[in-house]
Structure 1
Amino acid sequence: MDIIVTIIYIVLFIILMVFVFSIGMLRPFMPKKEMALVLVVAFFIGALGGAFFLSPIYSDMPEITSSIDKMMPGNEETLYLDLSSSTDINKLKSDLSQIDGFKSFEETGITIPLWKFSDSEYEYFNYAVGNVDSHFTNYTVNKTDGSIYIALDNYSSSEALKSFADWYKLVFDGPISYAQIHAKIVISSSALDQVEESLLAKGIVASSIDGSVQTGLNNTNSSMLSNNEFILVCGGVGLVVGILGLFFDSFVVGKRRFDRFLRTKKKR
């Protein structure tokens, strides 16, 4: 929300509270039985003002928090990507490296979907994959969905895919038509919006994000009240302001008596 609109909404809510306070100050001129009605009206006005003026601002709190985190120097974000094997990884890395705040791009692994394995096929792949390439030291064969995940350690996805595809063609006489490449990008928090826009322009959305901004968003979202709860709180604020207005004269008189008591005590 625009900062000017935010200020206007807050001022309008304050004006409503001044109106509620003014109604409460009319207590000397109203029957006592109408005091309850004043409190009901105060709660209603507070809730209405909260729903129309403060609720939109409150809903933007996660965005405000993330904006502050993005401006903090030293904050970093890690974006995890799941890319198609048809993606030009070198061009993607080159384009992202041109963005101010880019720190690193790392290919972390590949997933090769095959078919749902039988027990014997599962045992075979568990044994064979590690012998396909000396770099395949960390891999997982998923029996349920029939996929093979191979972690990349100082090894590019293109080299790993070529090595596996050559072995697969030799053994099963078929091509590997598709694979998924997993990558990790580390950037400054200030570059998050620009990096996400650059990825989106290529049809890529991060599967997950870790870092100061995401942590702040998660913490803010988890601690926020629901919209209805927030409106009730605003109604409570209106109720308190109404009570202050109703008993303002009593507060003033009490304060004057207390001050007079203190002055008299000092003279003694």
Structure 2
Amino acid sequence: MDFIVAIIYVILFIVLMIFVFSIAMLKPFMSKKEMVLVLAVGFFIGALGGAFFLSPIYSEVPEVATAIEKVIPGNEEVLYLDLSSSTDINALRNDLSKIEGVKSFEETGVTIPLWSFSDTEYAFFNSSVPNMDSHFGNYYVNKTDGTVYIALKNYSSSEALKSFADWYKENFDGPINYAQVHVKIVVSSSAYDKVKQTLLQKGIVASSVEGSVQSSIDNSNTTLLSNVQFVAICGGIGLIVSVLGLFFETFVVSRRRFKRFVRRKRKY
């Protein structure tokens, strides 16, 4: 929303509150039933003004917060991707490296789905994986899911998958048709939108994101009121304004009496 439009909406809401206040100030000409009606009207107008004028502004608070985080120097975002082994990782790396603000692109591991292992098969894979390749020091065999996860350090996913596929072919006489490659990308917060858009153009969505911008989004989602709650609060503001209007004259008269009382006391 444009800043000028937001200012206009706030002014319009204030005008509505002035209108409610003005109606409530007609208390001397009202019966008690009419005073209750004024309170109801104040709540209704406040809620209506909140729904039409303030709610659109309130809904953009997360965007404003994230926009501030993006321009703060030093803020970073970490994107975690789960890619198909058929993805051209090198091409993706090259495309992202052209974006200013991309600090690192790291292949962190591969997950190879097989089948639900029996106890014997589990023991076999668990003992065989570290012997397939000297780089397979950090791995995990999931018996229930039937997957093998291999962490990568200074080793590419293509090399790791080739080593595993060669071993698998020798022992099971079959190919590895699918595997998942895990990638970690570190970018400056200012480049986050551009990186995200580039990934979307390739049909890739980050499985998770960590960083200043994401934290701002998460905090906004957990702390912001729902639209109904916000409108109800605006209605409460209208109700309070109407109450102030109803008792404004009483307040003014009491204030004048108090001032006269204080002056009299000072004279004596």
| Same fold by TM-score greater than 0.5 | yes
Residue of structure 2 equivalent to 1:32: 32
Residue of structure 1 equivalent to 2:65: 65
Residue of structure 2 equivalent to 1:157: 157
Amino acid at match of 2:218: N
Residues 28-107 of structure 1: pairs in structure 2 closer than 5 A: 28-107=28-107
> Is the aligned partner of 1:8 residue 2:8?
yes
Residues 117-196 of structure 1: pairs in structure 2 closer than 5 A: 117-196=117-196
Amino acid at match of 2:252: V
Please state how far the C-alpha of 1:256 moved relative to its aligned partner.
Answer: 2.5
Amino acid at match of 2:74: G
Amino acid at match of 1:241: V
Please state how far the C-alpha of 1:267 moved relative to its aligned partner.
Answer: 4.6
Quick one: percent identity of the two aligned structures?
69
Please state how far the C-alpha of 1:141 moved relative to its aligned partner.
Answer: 1.0
Please state how far the C-alpha of 1:264 moved relative to its aligned partner.
Answer: 4.0
Structure 2 residue ranges without an equivalent (≥5): none
Where 1:134 maps in the other structure, the secondary structure is coil
Structure 1 residue ranges without an equivalent (≥5): none
Please state how far the C-alpha of 1:83 moved relative to its aligned partner.
Answer: 0.9
* Number of residues of Structure 1 aligned to a counterpart in Structure 2: 268
Residue of structure 2 equivalent to 1:204: 204
Q: Distance in 2 between matches of 1:48 and 1:115?
A: 58
Where 2:110 maps in the other structure, the secondary structure is strand
Q: Distance in 2 between matches of 1:198 and 1:141?
A: 34
Q: Give deviations 1:174-232, integer Å, cap 9, x for gaps.
A: 11111110001111111111110011111111000000111111111111122211111
Amino acid at match of 1:92: L
Amino acid at match of 1:172: F
- In structure 2, relative to structure 1, the CA distance for the partners of 1:25 and 1:106 (3 Å cut) is same
Amino acid at match of 1:142: N
Amino acid at match of 2:157: S
Amino acid at match of 2:243: I
Where 1:205 maps in the other structure, the secondary structure is coil
Where 1:144 maps in the other structure, the secondary structure is coil
Q: Give deviations 1:62-109, integer Å, cap 9, x for gaps.
A: 222111111211111100001111112122111111112111111110
Q: Give deviations 1:121-152, integer Å, cap 9, x for gaps.
A: 11111111111111111111112221111111
Residue of structure 2 equivalent to 1:235: 235
* Aligned Cα root-mean-square deviation (Å): 1.5
Please state how far the C-alpha of 1:114 moved relative to its aligned partner.
Answer: 1.1
Q: Distance in 1 between matches of 2:150 and 2:63?
A: 37
Write out the 4+ residue segments of structure 1 that deviate beyond 6 Å after TM superposition.
Answer: none
TM-score, structure 2 length as denominator?
0.95
Larger mean CA deviation between 28-37 and 195-204 belongs to: 28-37
Please state how far the C-alpha of 1:32 moved relative to its aligned partner.
Answer: 3.0
Where 2:137 maps in the other structure, the secondary structure is coil
TM-score, structure 1 length as denominator?
0.95
Larger mean CA deviation between 137-146 and 236-245 belongs to: 137-146
Where 1:176 maps in the other structure, the secondary structure is coil
Q: Distance in 2 between matches of 1:166 and 1:83?
A: 21
Please state how far the C-alpha of 1:53 moved relative to its aligned partner.
Answer: 1.7
Q: Distance in 2 between matches of 1:160 and 1:198?
A: 27
Q: Distance in 2 between matches of 1:199 and 1:260?
A: 73
Q: Distance in 1 between matches of 2:108 and 2:118?
A: 28
Please state how far the C-alpha of 1:116 moved relative to its aligned partner.
Answer: 1.7
Amino acid at match of 1:153: K
Residue of structure 1 equivalent to 2:213: 213
Q: Distance in 2 between matches of 1:57 and 1:126?
A: 56
Amino acid at match of 1:215: S
Q: Distance in 2 between matches of 1:264 and 1:104?
A: 78
Residue of structure 2 equivalent to 1:225: 225
